[in-house]
Structure formats: C-alpha cells, structure tokens
Amino acid sequence: MAVSPAGGPVAGRRFPTGANYVEALQNPALCFEDPDLKHGTVQQSPVLGPKAISGNFASVFSITAPGGQRYALKCFTRDSSTLEARYQAISKQLAGLRHAKLSQPWPVGIEYLPRGVLVAGQWYPTLKMAWAEGTNLITWIDRNVRDSTAILRVAEQFSALVADLEKLGIAHGDLQHGNLLVASDCTFRLVDYDGMYVPDLKGQGSTENGHRNYQSPSRTSSDFGPSMDRFSSWIIHLSLVAIATDPDIWAQLHDDQGEFLILKEDDFKEPRSSLAWSLLLTHADPNLRALAAQTHSLLTAGTHAVPALSTAGAIPTQRPAPAAAPANGTPSWLAGHIPPPRSAPAGSSGSAGTITSGGFARRRATDVLSGVLALTGSAAPVALTAISVMPAGYGYLAAAQIGALLVSGGALQATRSSRPEVKASKARLRALQQQAGTVEDPAAAVQKVREEIDALAKVSAHRDAQINQQIKKLQAELRDEQARITSALNKETGSLRTKLSTLAATEQQRLEAALAFAIRTHVRERLGRSSIQEVKRLSNMGSGTVTALVAAGIRTAADFTGVRYVQSSRYNNRDAFLIRPNGQEVKVPGVGEVRAAALESWRTSLEQRAQTSAPTSLSQQERTAIRQQFAAQKKQHEADIARAESAASLKRTQLQQRITTRQQQANTEKQQHQTATQNQRALLLQQQAQLASASAAHNLLVAQLSTAVEQHRRAFGLRRYLRFLATNR
C-alpha cells in the first residue's frame, strides 16, 4: 500500500507504474530516505534513464552505494494488503539464519522499506536486496553442457540447497531456472522471495503458483506451505542428472527459446504424449531410468504427497575413464616388433646398458713391450740423426719421425684392442647397437594413433549431432501434427458445439412458437364461429352490405385480418380494402372508410374476447414431443463430438506411437554408435598407452647406448691406455 508523508498507509491508492518509478529514480537524493540508496548510483540505460527489469507486479533497479555495495531495489506496481507482513516475516526468517549451518551461501539479504521511494508526493514501499552474482541455470548449462563433472557438482549443490530448505521448514515457492543463479564455485544463489513460505506465514494463501514449466498442474494457492517446492525440486534434479549422464539430452529436449530445462508443462499434463518422458524412461543408463520413473510417478500426486528430494538417493558418480594399459612389460600387441633383451657375454658383469668403469686390470708383457717400442720408435729418428747414421736434413728427419709414430701408434692400438677388458666392452657396445638398431622409434605410430583418436571423436560428434537433430525434428513433427489434429478437431466440433450451446435457446423458441401457433389457431377458430351476419347490428350495415361482403368471400370474422386504406383521387376520400388471411386485398362495393372501420372494430373486439380464452401453455404431450426432438438432436451432437474426439485421440495415440518408435530407434542407433565408439576409443587409448611405454623403452635404450659409448671412451681410450702403461693404473 502507499504510505502517506507522515508514514501511515494510504487506502485505495493505486501504485505507480514502471515508467513512474523510472522518472522518480532520476534523482535518488530526492526520492530515497535510505542512506545507501539516497547517495547511490542507479544503473542507467543508454537512452531511457534508470534501467528497469519489469516483472508481474514490480520493477527492479540496480543501485550501487558509495561504498561499492550493489543492491537490487524492487519497486511494486501492484498493492497487496499482506505485502508488508509477508516481507517482514521473510526478512526476519532470513536474517536469523546461521550461514555456517547452511550447505552454501544461497540466501540473499533483503530489507523491507515501508518508506522506500517517493513518487508524485507519496511514499511507496520497496524491497532492498543485496545483489546476487551468478548465472541463471539455463545459461550456465549452455556453457557447461559437456562438463559432466561440473553438472554433477551443481546437481549435488542443488540437492543440498533443497535439503537446507526442508530442514528449515521454509519453501521458496518458485524454484526455476531464473531464480537459481550459479556462482563461479558451482554453488547457488536463490533470488526472488515474493512467494516464499516461512513458518510465521502458516495459514495464509500463496500470492503466486510459480513458473508453469516447473510446477505440478494440480498446484493451487491452498498448497502454500513447506512442501510446495518438492515437485519442482524433483524436476530440476532429474534434469541436471539427465544432462550430466547424457549431455545430448540437452540438445534433444531443450528449446533455445524455451523457459524450461528439459521438461515443461505439457509433459506434466499429458505425459503419455511426451517425447521427453519417452526418452528418459527408456534411456540406456539404468540409474537415469530409475530416477525418471520415480519422478514420473509424482505427476498425479498432490503437492503434500510428493516426498522430499532426499528420497531420490545418491547422485550417480561420473563414469570412469577406460583403464590405461599396464606400464610394465612389453605390450602383447608389440610382440615380434621389439626383440627380447640380449644377455651379456659370459664373464661380463653389469647390465647390457652399463659398461664396467674399472678400466684396465693389470699390465701384460706385451703391454710393456708395446710401450717400450712406441717410446723408442718415436725417439729413434732423432737419435740416429744425432750420431750421423741417418742422412742429415729436415726432410729426412720429418719423414722418419712420422713413420716411427705411425708404427708405434699402430702397435699401441693393436695391443690395447687385444686386451680382454676392451674386447668385452666392445662386445657389449655391439649388443646395444644391434638392439637399438632393431627397435623402431614408435613416434610415428604414436602420432597416427593420436590422429585416429581425434578423427574418431570428430566422427562421433558429427554422428551424435545428426541424431540429436533428427530427434529435434521428430519433436517438431510431433508438435506440428498434434496442432493439426487439434485444429481439425476444433474445426469439426466447433459448429457442433455452437449448435449444442444454442440448442436450449432454440428449444425454448420452439416451445414459444408452438404456443403462439396454438393461440393463433384458437383465435382463428373462435373468429370463424362469428358469422358476418352479426354486423347487421352495427349502424350503417344493411343487408346489401352483408351480401356484398359474402359475395367477396367474407362470411365470418376469420375471413379478413384487417383493413388497408388507400387515398382516392375522387372527392378527396380514402378507399378501404379488406385484407384476406392469404394477404389478398378485396374492395367490397358499398364498404367505404366508415363501414370498414366499423368492421375492423367488430373483428378486434371478437379477437380480444378470443384471446382471453386462449391456452396459456402447451399440453404435456406437445411439450414432450418438442423436448424429445431436441433431446435427440442434443444426443446426436454429443455423439458426433465424442466420435470426433475419439478419432482425434486415436490419431494422437498413433502419432505418439509412431514418433516414439522412431525416437527410440534413433536413440538405440545412437547408443550403439556410442558403445562402438567407446570400445574403439578404449582400444586406441590402450594402444596409445602401450606406445608411450614402448617409446619410453626406446628412448631409454638410446640413452643407454650413448652412455655406454661415453663410458667405453673414458675407460678404454688411447689416453687412458697410455696412462695405464705408464702407471699400471
């Protein structure tokens, strides 16, 4: 109700329109008393000033306080005698909640302001609400439809939210996608408390019945109470679980322009002709089928008979991914492609990929001799030149020196290579090289498998999209055919119903017409008894006039019905014509205007006397005959309507069966494709894991070979051998 400047209610005052509020909110400092609002900033539209979100009986504005806190201000456009009491009770209930005891921070703080906004000199109440950040449920599902884990988490959070409401003994009254905002952490924010029930409102009626696509068709205002959210809770819960189980259900059952998730009002009112229920109740997933059947059984239950959502059982977990191949051992499918590890030569120690780094064991006589020869061979040319055995000259000296170095180096190399440690090390290197040479690098095979997995995913997605589109077309075909059947039925039964609705009035008209006919018959019979001879008693009516009347066919008062006067061209008189019952006009000689008037007066007096004795109602037999006739017509019309409705019902049933069969075939085909795809993908993933293991083994073998070569060089190289010759270490 409006509030006077003094603070009292103003009775009978109409509330402002949304446009009135827009105009008032252009100056917050003048129209508000609340400090946050008075000094706040109202969100503006580009052209029209303050931006309003209009609802059924309120306009909502966004206002940001100086401290940065954002509020939603609801300005009412319709009065209610219980408005203040309801919101005070709801505000009190929400303010008393212990948030630590709740599953998530779903409540939004509200404050009812009796002197909320000043419009045209009058104060009107408003509802100040903390602004809730989140995405409405439909938009959130659109963005995350393929993330089954996230949707299952949201389903769990929704169940927890409903459990909070049940435990507190309160109900929202309009659980639907627009009032359920999903925050970034997948928790909910519950908004719009106009229809909320709290214990302090017990015994009152509901102000609204909630969104039709989420409520039981049987819900009424008398169902206002703590259990009124249960039906919509089951519907939303089933929808979320279904989408998480099979994301394609969203594409098949959700309408981009629709105000519902996957089930709507028609599915509740006519479940037998619902494609949605047909799909859910026959789905391949047994958990989803069971939940759908449990929810379907609630369609005919009264609001108070619907059980709490907690009886739905645990939310199914996400299906596990295919198991990876064992990491140990060589994959069976690679047998024959990778040779078994070779045994190290007898007498060697360590693994095939490790070279013993102990070096040379001990010097042999051949080693000492090789060292001495190398040393003397390198110094011989210089010594011989010094004692003049060799010819002098740098050319001879250089050639001799090079030759001596080559001979001594060859001797050292031959002696080093003949040592058993070097032979064993080289044997191990050859074994590793041979093993590495026979093992192909699986990188190309890994890439091929990856490409096959990607191609399989694309083909599967394309096929699923085609089947989803096919199911959508089936739904559209069902709607169109049902509309055509209904239109044809309405056209066929429309005229019948019109006749049926007017039958009672037509029957009454027939009864009245029959009575009027009976009265006319009675009057005519009485007039027929009065001979024209009676007019002789009238003045100016002699025998000659009577004879002329008889000659004209007028023998009784019933033989004429009136007189018509025609202006005569002679003597400025009027000629009188007597009107016969058949409409014929007769000019009787000797009957002028005066005598005609006397005749008409005589007949009128007789007619009036006859009217007094006329019947005032039809006989029972006559009434029964007429009513039986109309009863037969009514029965015939009703039978025709029933036949038309029965034929239309049969057509709908046959249509539903035909569409359902085709839909089930499409779903079966889809499930078969998905099963085959999953199996094929599991094989490819197994191959991918095995190839990864083989690639790791190949890389390890290459690394071992590189390490072995380096170790051989360090342990048995020429420099190490020379050191060994010199130090025996």
Same domain, 179 and 266: yes
Q: Are residues 266 and 367 in the same domain?
A: no
CB atoms within 10 A of CB 71: 21
Least confident interval from 207-211, 395-399, 628-632: 395-399
* 442 domain-assigned: no
Q: Which two tokens stand for residue 422?
A: 């070097």
- From 177, 178, 143, select the one nearest 261 (Cα to Cα): 177
Query: pLDDT tens digits, residue range 278-324?
Result: 889 989 899 999 999 999 999 988 888 999 998 766 666 655 444 34
Contact 70, 134 (CB under 8 A): no
In a domain, 471, yes or no: no
Q: Which domain holds residue 728?
A: 355-418+693-729
- What are the tokens at 57? 């009986």
Last residue of a domain, one of 562, 589, 612: 612
Max mean pLDDT among 156-165, 369-378, 566-575 falls in 156-165
- For residue 94 the two structure tokens come to 């929400």
Same domain (yes/no): 25, 120: yes
- pTM of the predicted protein model: 0.58
pLDDT of residue 385: 55
Half-sphere exposure in the Cβ direction for 600 (13 Å, CA): 17
CA gap 124, 118 in Å, rounded: 6
Verify that 27 and 66 share a domain, yes or no: yes
DSSP 74-97: EEESS--TTHHHHHHHHHHHHHT-
Sign of CA dihedral 503, 507, 509, 513: positive
Mean pLDDT, rounded, for 452-469: 84
Q: Do 396 and 249 share a domain, yes or no?
A: no
> Which tens digit of pLDDT belongs to each residue from 205-252?
888 889 999 999 989 888 999 999 999 999 999 999 999 999 999 988
Helix (H, G, I), strand (E, B) or coil at 310: helix
Q: Are residues 120 and 150 located together in one domain of the fold?
A: no
Q: Which parts of 542-619 fold into alpha helices (H)?
A: 543-551, 593-612
Average pLDDT rounded to a whole number, residues 402-414: 70
77 in the same domain as 96: yes
Distance in angstroms (rounded) separating the CA atoms of residues 52 and 73: 10
Q: For the residues 327-352, what does the mean pLDDT come to?
A: 44
Residue 313 Rama label (left phi>0; alpha psi -120 to 50; beta): left
Q: Measure the CA–CA gap between 183 and 140, rounded to whole angstroms.
A: 9
375 plus 401 within the same structural domain: yes
Predicted pLDDT at 570:
67
One domain, residues 288 and 173: yes
Q: What CATH number does the domain containing 101 carry?
A: 3.30.200.20
Nearest to 90 by CA among 189, 197, 225: 197
Of 312, 335, 364, the position where a domain reaches its end is 312
448 assigned to some structural domain: no
> Does 307 map to a domain?
yes
Contacts of 148 (CB under 8 A, 6+ apart): 244, 245, 247, 318
Of 612, 638, 655, the last residue of a domain is 612
Q: Is residue 397 part of a domain?
A: yes
Q: Are residues 42 and 101 in the same domain?
A: yes
Beta bridge partners of 630: none
- Residue 440 pLDDT > 60: yes
Report the C-alpha gap between 2 and 20 in whole angstroms: 14
Q: What is the CATH classification number for the domain harbouring 574?
A: 2.40.50
pLDDT in tens, 15-71: 999 889 999 999 999 999 999 999 999 998 877 778 888 776 889 999 999 989 999
pLDDT at 325 over 70: no
Do 152 and 117 sit in the same domain of this protein?
A: no
558 part of a folded domain? yes
Residue 562 resides in a domain: yes
Residue 267's nearest CA partner among 246, 242, 287 is: 242
| Same domain flag for 116 and 147 | no
**Whole-number percent of the chain with pLDDT over 90:** 40
Could you tell me which residue, 116 or 715, shows the higher pLDDT? Answer: 116
Asked whether residue 543 is domain-assigned, the answer is yes
CATH of the domain at 289: 1.10.510.10
DSSP-derived secondary structure for 343-367? PPPTT--S-TT---TT------HHH
Tokens of 444: 């190309």
Give 159 or 483, the one with higher predicted confidence. Answer: 159
Between CA 729 and CA 721 the distance in angstroms is: 9
Structurally, the chain folds into a number of domains equal to 4
